[in-house]
Structure 1
Amino acid sequence: MKAEKIFTPFRIGDCEIPNRLVVPAMVANMCPDGTATEQYIKYHEEKAKGGWGLIITEDYRINEHAAGYPAVAALYDELQIPGHKKFTDIIHQYGTKVFCQIYHAGRQANHNVNGNVKPVSCSPVPCPWNKEIPHELTVDEIKQLVNDFGITALNAKKAGFDGIEIHAAHGYLVHEFLSPNCNHRIDEYGGTYENRMRFLKEIMEEVRQKVGDNFPISVRFSAQENSEGGRRMFESRQMLMDIEEMGADVIHLSNGMYGVRSSVGIVASFFQQHGWNMDFAAEAKTFLKIPVITVGRVAEPAMAEDIIVSGKADFVAMGRASLADPHWPNKAKAGANNDIRHCIGCLQGCTASTYQGVPVYCLVNPELGHEYEYDYSKSEKSKTIFVAGAGIGGMEAARAAAIKGHRIEIFEKQNTVGGQFISASYPPYKGEFATYTAWLYREIKKYKNITLHLNTELTAEMVKKVKPDKVILASGAQPVIPNVPGIHNKNVVLAEDVLLGKSDTGMTVLVVGGGMVGSETAAYLGMQCKSKVTLVEMRDAIAMDMEAGIRDDLKDCLRRCYVEIMTGTSIAGATNEGALLKQGDDITLFPCDTIVLAIGTKSYCPLAEELKDVCVISIVGDAVKARQAIQASNEGFAAGLTS
């Protein structure tokens, strides 16, 4: 199916959006004092260049104590207007419209980023995230917050935004007032349905009074809370109809609230199916007259097209797709679907950055967040660059160096590209990880100035003979093998070999090492209907090197596969009958057919010492230290671009 309908214009109120593709609000952490920084402007400008019809900017706090993150933007002060006016002017140059999302984080605010001020909420119910008991707002304080929303909306209009989005979802302050799980007030702002809606109603009235009748107002809303006793779509139907009656011009229908453990998350990982949220939008379309924006792991042009053609929604918001490839719309419009760099749902950068309080970054798009500082102009002198290793770090290094006009030769000792990232695509639900490896391979094949040598390991002698200007060492890591008796027996295999089909296992399997690789390998084996799979970890918890949301999903998967988990346990040896396991001072025989080692990896970089006095070298990814894939891609690209 050729994508056509998604490129037709559609109106939100009096504002015509050039196409149906929306960048939803996502925390970028690029505006420490609230003003629009050069980094922030260039980050969004890249999306405007890429052809997105509407960009909704993220989490503009309505006062100095309303933030949930350390560096979100703000427009509560007129002094902040000029920088954001510069921002909107730049976005408008590309024909893209831009809405300003305004919010108060409520009990999900963090005193560490709000001047040590205690979070506030409708009731003193602690947030599951930060565990802090919030200050219960007085009526006068509520009235002041309503006024703050209005002031921020007016400032956004003055700054050139095309519309406003009121954040009434995801467990932030407005959502807290709407939710009976959070709101236990007995005054005019709590108790009955009408009272719980009052805060949002007053905000809508105040914002409308400030911005006028012809300025679009979007409301971001969670169709369901996905919590025990939380709101379901049945009650949301009435709320959505009332929000339309209040004067909303569009509904941006999301799902869930932060801090709630459920099978679906606001930022869904690879465990969640694509388009998982669209049915709620389709239901809303049956009773709403205003447009509806859907969101939730839409990645393929065909799916986006189907959503619009079938009438499930009027717009498709694609947050992480826009991070992975800001030029998704232009590529889809040109029919160049194979050129699209897809989000793989890993959460290693987009979500992790919010916890870390740093600007957003991405595994598959190492350029993200660096748009303001990376120089893509051709180098004055074309250099010869050798790259050792064709994993994702090595391929990103080669791609970046090729952009600069250098001549690159990649040396890979295996018969294929991808390195450890190949086996990373084999565990349950992770098949789409292979799309990144495939995309990189297609990219390096496009460049005539890149030569790929497979089945060839780079040596110091080769470097000394050719004398390249620079060598980038992306040789990766090797598995850690414990020094215990019997570890080289035939019944002991490596997790990577199991995932790649190089080693078979018996029906009873012990996986040693409960980090990400070991836990995923145990799930992989469990789904193969082995009679018994046991996972042992020396620490007191498994998968601690994974993002929290994915870790919870993986634990659910392990439970469904009946994988037994033993923590505080290490391997002391291997025999033909099984493994010797150590718990405390006790060592016992654990009978099993196969022992799978997933204890970890260590850097592999034999050339570093040999070449240190021979030529300029850069070491990237696991060759520096065994870490996550995101360090390999980001460091590799940076090394190539600065060659």
Structure 2
Amino acid sequence: MTNQQSHADGTASEEEIRFLSMRAQGGFGTVVTCAMYVQQDGKAWQGQMGISEDAHIAGLRKLTEAIRAHGSLSIAQLFHAGSRADASLNGGRVWSASDIFHPAKGHQIAVEGCEEDIQGVIQAFERAAIRAAEAGFDGVEIHAAHGYLIHQFLSATTNRRTDQWGGDAEKRRRFLKEILNAVQKHLKGQLVVGVRISPEDFSFFSGIDFDESLETAQQLFTLEVDYVDISLWDALKRPNKYPEGPPAISYFSQLRGSSPTLLRTAGNIWTHEQGDQLFSLGTDLLAVGRAAIAHHDLPKRWASNLALHYPPYSAEHLMREGLSMPFVRYMKRWPNFVKEEIALNEQ
């Protein structure tokens, strides 16, 4: 849900508040923010919303109040970009689980984080969770997917450490668990706490073994996380590792057993028929991205069997759905989502 329409200092803009509150008005039970950076050195984009400073709270409170006014829950998605941070936005230093060299760029893009970096960002997630509560959010989601910092620690490709934070899967998992412990210390039983993971490799996100992801989920179930989100990019796909098996989400629903943790999934969900199929496979919650960007009232359309509009979209359509022009320009990065006649420099 990245959109680049917040202010340069990370405070929530009126455009962001309008976009998200329109989804609440359109019938979504829960509205999850874009990835909000918990620390300045984890900022990834110009116009990204932040939750790293107390100065961010006032704008976020306006956001949660607008969402609540339409009867929906609000979830703050907490993240640090790690090696995917924008060096120009954070003083030039980018760090990750290990040194990362970018072959295409021909230079190192991240240095290995030291113990001070690691402990500092764990505390930053903790403080961000406290701010989320102060801002009136109903919950927080720890973003451990999509190649960002926590994912970089989970990955055997990007985490080559030999200390307590790297090595076997359990040591690579420690960073996530320490962050979760810090957040739950303040919020467990008061706010919803969820975790989002990528269960397998996708695009340039590598080093994630499907069976290790099942182990990660099992531990999250045991730690009584309120929900675990399995981000698949195609919610009904079979695992890459087991192409002859059932859909990937089935492995997680079977593993959960009697745990009260809810299971959410995401990935190319457009129709209520897909949703019904996912519910039959053990999913409790559906996370919708691109279809929700194009239809602020998607749940109402599903309930009434109203027709959907499919991409590519005109700028006029997307702006009627609550997107500002920076968001429209950003969505041109997704192939065939925005009609070609829209110029990147349109105002």
- 1:244 is aligned, of 221, 229, 238, to 221
Once the 2 structures are TM-superposed, how far is the Cα of residue 335 of structure 1 from its aligned partner?
A: 2.7
Aligned to 1:300: 271
Aligned to 1:341: 309
Secondary structure, counterpart of 1:171 in structure 2: coil
Once the 2 structures are TM-superposed, how far is the Cα of residue 632 of structure 1 from its aligned partner?
A: 5.6
Once the 2 structures are TM-superposed, how far is the Cα of residue 229 of structure 1 from its aligned partner?
A: 7.1
Secondary structure, counterpart of 1:341 in structure 2: coil
Aligned to 1:280: 248
Secondary structure, counterpart of 1:117 in structure 2: coil
Aligned to 2:298: 328
User: Contact 1:108 / 1:129 at 8 angstroms: preserved in 2?
Assistant: no
Give runs of aligned pairs for residues 149-160 of structure 1, distance below 5 A. 149-160=125-136
Does residue 115 of the first structure (1) align with residue 85 of the second (2)?
no
User: Contact 1:362 / 1:368 at 8 angstroms: preserved in 2?
Assistant: no
Against the structure 1 CA distance between its residues 369 and 128, is the aligned structure 2 distance closer, same or farther, given a 3 Å change threshold? Answer: farther
- Deviation track 1:206-245 (CA, whole Å, cap 9, x = no partner) reads 1111224332111110010246973232221111111222
Q: Structure 2-normalised TM-score?
A: 0.85
Secondary structure, counterpart of 1:631 in structure 2: coil
1:326 maps to amino acid: H
- Deviation track 1:237-295 (CA, whole Å, cap 9, x = no partner) reads 1111112223321111014xxxxxxxxxx5xxxxxx78447922222000113211111
Does residue 28 of the first structure (1) align with residue 3 of the second (2)?
yes
User: Contact 1:362 / 1:630 at 8 angstroms: preserved in 2?
Assistant: no
2:223 maps to amino acid: M
Secondary structure, counterpart of 1:302 in structure 2: helix
Against the structure 1 CA distance between its residues 295 and 229, is the aligned structure 2 distance closer, same or farther, given a 3 Å change threshold? Answer: closer
Secondary structure, counterpart of 2:76 in structure 1: strand
Against the structure 1 CA distance between its residues 285 and 124, is the aligned structure 2 distance closer, same or farther, given a 3 Å change threshold? Answer: same
Aligned to 1:491: none
Against the structure 1 CA distance between its residues 135 and 204, is the aligned structure 2 distance closer, same or farther, given a 3 Å change threshold? Answer: same
Against the structure 1 CA distance between its residues 180 and 214, is the aligned structure 2 distance closer, same or farther, given a 3 Å change threshold? Answer: same
Q: CA–CA distance in 2 between the matches of 1:221 and 1:70?
A: 24
User: Contact 1:204 / 1:247 at 8 angstroms: preserved in 2?
Assistant: no
Secondary structure, counterpart of 1:248 in structure 2: coil
Give runs of aligned pairs for residues 355-504 of structure 1, distance below 5 A. 365-370=318-323
Give runs of aligned pairs for residues 129-278 of structure 1, distance below 5 A. 132-226=108-202, 230-255=207-232, 266=233, 275-276=236-237
Once the 2 structures are TM-superposed, how far is the Cα of residue 364 of structure 1 from its aligned partner?
A: 5.3
Secondary structure, counterpart of 1:126 in structure 2: strand
Aligned residues: 327
Q: CA–CA distance in 2 between the matches of 1:332 and 1:241?
A: 32
Against the structure 1 CA distance between its residues 326 and 125, is the aligned structure 2 distance closer, same or farther, given a 3 Å change threshold? Answer: same
Q: CA–CA distance in 1 between the matches of 2:13 and 2:220?
A: 34
Against the structure 1 CA distance between its residues 296 and 362, is the aligned structure 2 distance closer, same or farther, given a 3 Å change threshold? Answer: farther
Aligned to 1:46: 22
- Deviation track 1:584-606 (CA, whole Å, cap 9, x = no partner) reads xxxxxxxxxxxxxxxxxxxxxxx
Aligned to 2:99: 124
Once the 2 structures are TM-superposed, how far is the Cα of residue 368 of structure 1 from its aligned partner?
A: 4.4
Looking at CA atoms only, which structure, 1 or 2, has the larger radius of gyration? 1
Structure 2 unaligned residues grouped into runs of 5+: 239-245, 326-331
Aligned to 2:281: 311
User: Identity over the aligned pairs, expressed in percent?
Assistant: 25
1:287 maps to amino acid: L
1:27 maps to amino acid: T
Secondary structure, counterpart of 1:166 in structure 2: strand
Against the structure 1 CA distance between its residues 143 and 633, is the aligned structure 2 distance closer, same or farther, given a 3 Å change threshold? Answer: closer
Q: CA–CA distance in 2 between the matches of 1:92 and 1:126?
A: 44
Say what the alpha-carbon RMSD is for the aligned residues. Answer: 3.0
User: Contact 1:324 / 1:362 at 8 angstroms: preserved in 2?
Assistant: no
Q: CA–CA distance in 2 between the matches of 1:89 and 1:39?
A: 15
Secondary structure, counterpart of 2:43 in structure 1: coil
Q: CA–CA distance in 1 between the matches of 2:78 and 2:41?
A: 13
Against the structure 1 CA distance between its residues 204 and 365, is the aligned structure 2 distance closer, same or farther, given a 3 Å change threshold? Answer: same
User: Contact 2:101 / 2:110 at 8 angstroms: preserved in 1?
Assistant: yes
Once the 2 structures are TM-superposed, how far is the Cα of residue 192 of structure 1 from its aligned partner?
A: 2.2
Give runs of aligned pairs for residues 556-635 of structure 1, distance below 5 A. 629-631=339-341
Once the 2 structures are TM-superposed, how far is the Cα of residue 119 of structure 1 from its aligned partner?
A: 1.2
Once the 2 structures are TM-superposed, how far is the Cα of residue 169 of structure 1 from its aligned partner?
A: 0.6
Does residue 98 of the first structure (1) align with residue 98 of the second (2)?
no
Against the structure 1 CA distance between its residues 229 and 298, is the aligned structure 2 distance closer, same or farther, given a 3 Å change threshold? Answer: closer
2:300 maps to amino acid: N
Against the structure 1 CA distance between its residues 184 and 274, is the aligned structure 2 distance closer, same or farther, given a 3 Å change threshold? Answer: closer
Structure 1 unaligned residues grouped into runs of 5+: 1-25, 256-265, 267-272, 350-360, 373-546, 552-627, 639-643
Q: CA–CA distance in 2 between the matches of 1:228 and 1:58?
A: 19
Secondary structure, counterpart of 2:9 in structure 1: coil
Against the structure 1 CA distance between its residues 117 and 292, is the aligned structure 2 distance closer, same or farther, given a 3 Å change threshold? Answer: same
User: Contact 2:36 / 2:78 at 8 angstroms: preserved in 1?
Assistant: yes
Secondary structure, counterpart of 1:52 in structure 2: coil
Secondary structure, counterpart of 2:36 in structure 1: strand
User: Contact 2:269 / 2:275 at 8 angstroms: preserved in 1?
Assistant: yes
Q: CA–CA distance in 2 between the matches of 1:149 and 1:201?
A: 12
Q: Structure 1-normalised TM-score?
A: 0.47
Once the 2 structures are TM-superposed, how far is the Cα of residue 315 of structure 1 from its aligned partner?
A: 1.1
Structure with the largest fraction of helix: 2
Which segment drifts farther, 38-47 or 226-235? 226-235
